[in-house]
Amino acid sequence: MERVIIHVDMDAFYAAVEQRDNPLYRGQPVIVGGTVEQRGVVSTASYEARKYGVHSAMSMYEAHRRCPQGIYLPVDMEKYRAVSQEIMTIFQQYTPEVEAISLDEAFLDVTGSCKLFGGAENIGHQIKNEIKKKLQLTASVGIAYNKFLAKLASDLDKPDGFCVLTPNDLAAKVWPLPIGKMMGVGSKTEEQLKAMHIKTIGQLAQVDLALLERLLGKAGRQMGEMARGIDLREVEPVREHKSVGRETTFPKDIQQSQLLETVLFELTDDVCYTLRSQKLKGKTVTLKIKYADFKVVTRAVTMDKYTANFEMVFAQIKQLLQQHYREGMPVRLIGITVSHLKAEDEIVEQTSLFEDNKQEEKHQKLDAVLDKLNAKYGKESVIRARKLEWEQE
């Protein structure tokens, strides 16, 4: 039986949630990521803001230069997570085979659900309608026989899009697309391919796979196969929590360690908050970097004790970045994972009068106070002093 994969991608998710919740923001250029004074990056820009050239991963300074009249808002991760959970609940009504890629997108394998719900297209329309009716948000849906084409389809008709790609659509709809639309093709890889006179997906599909592997490694062969409509990757649902991680893909490569550290600051804060909210602690911290050439580097460190403390985890991830990232190398994705998890009540900790333990106790108390205040008044109602230092620089 031919697989049927649906990719659902929410439209400008963070900004759309803010526009939904505040009528004054609707129809306005909304940029989520912080205030204009922050030395941070844009998390999401509404479609109104994108008309001014503002996009994810752009520095807040550059975003404000391009769109000074924009509405700049801090990231309210707790709110977005809650909405995301409602979206995932809708997906689960149609199939248990749901692979969440991030808070705002997921793959669904509906191969076994089509007869029950009247076909993949009917499922796709029902999902869009439910999201619109229950959450007042729009989603773009792509349907195909593999993950690569389903994700590509969801991007072809944004926003509020609906697109189906079949094997017969390769030549007419996929091959004429620019090579930059290929999964895994960052700016550096795009330059390499264009130097080989490969400007479209169709031209890539004609290149010998062995040659692509010699030039670009295994990722080159994978891109060549995808261009031919071949992608054997399965939808992989997360069955249990063995780790907690966050990562972000940049629409344009980032080459400054300073910006990467800023992104990791936000991701680490969110990971640690998630651990504490689930009463978990972890011992291993992993940094993931995907470069423009699609090469992925992961580096991990195991700490002496279990923790969900932001300061301890961020110190480790920052050190990993300093040790393993070379300034100027273009990065398309960065992420952090905390693993080797245990429930808080399963961990036996020895008390000590050493200074470092006293310092850790101070950090834990700070985390508890921040969690309590942010739970009551909203995420980012109170922020860490280090973030204020970044804003003032």
Digit-coded pLDDT (tens) for 56-111 = 888 888 999 999 999 999 888 889 989 999 999 999 999 999 998 888 999 999 99
- For residues 282 and 242, the answer to whether their CB atoms sit within 8 Å is no
Identify the band that residue 370 occupies on the pLDDT scale cut at 50, 70 and 90: low
pTM of the model: 0.68
Structure tokens at 108: 């669904």
The catalytic residue among 97, 99, 105, 311 is 105
CATH topology of domain 243-392: Dna Ligase; domain 1 (3.30.1490)
- For residues 267 and 358, the answer to whether their CB atoms sit within 8 Å is no
pLDDT given at position 191 = 86
CATH architecture of 1-162: 2-Layer Sandwich (3.30)
Digit-coded pLDDT (tens) for 314-352 = 999 999 999 999 888 999 899 999 998 888 877 765 544
The Cα–Cα gap between 246 and 239 comes to 17
The Cα–Cα gap between 136 and 115 comes to 28
CA 368 to each of CA 72, 254, 375: distance values in angstroms, whole numbers, following the listed order? 28, 33, 10
Does the annotation count 105 as an active-site position? yes
The Cα–Cα gap between 241 and 323 comes to 28
- For residues 137 and 11, the answer to whether their CB atoms sit within 8 Å is yes
Tracing tokens 């394998």 back to the chain, one arrives at 109
Identify the band that residue 364 occupies on the pLDDT scale cut at 50, 70 and 90: low
List the one residue out of 287, 298, 299, 294 whose CA is nearest residue 261. 287
List the one residue out of 98, 90, 78, 106 whose CA is nearest residue 14. 78
Q: Is the pLDDT of residue 386 over 80?
A: no
Across-strand partners of 287?
299, 336
Structure tokens at 44: 């999401």
Q: Is the pLDDT of residue 239 over 70?
A: no
Digit-coded pLDDT (tens) for 161-184 = 999 999 999 999 999 999 988 877
The residues spanned by each domain of the chain are: 1-162, 166-239, 243-392
Averaged over 213-221, what is the pLDDT?
86
Structure tokens at 260: 């990467």
Identify the band that residue 368 occupies on the pLDDT scale cut at 50, 70 and 90: low
Averaged over 297-304, what is the pLDDT?
91
Across-strand partners of 102?
105
- For residues 201 and 227, the answer to whether their CB atoms sit within 8 Å is yes
The residue that leads in pLDDT, 238 or 263, is: 263
Across-strand partners of 175?
none
Helix ranges, the chain (H): 13-21, 47-50, 60-66, 77-92, 114-117, 120-135, 147-156, 187-195, 201-205, 209-216, 218-227, 257-277, 310-324, 355-377, 385-392
User: Is the domain covering 166-239 a CATH 2.60.40.10 domain?
Assistant: no
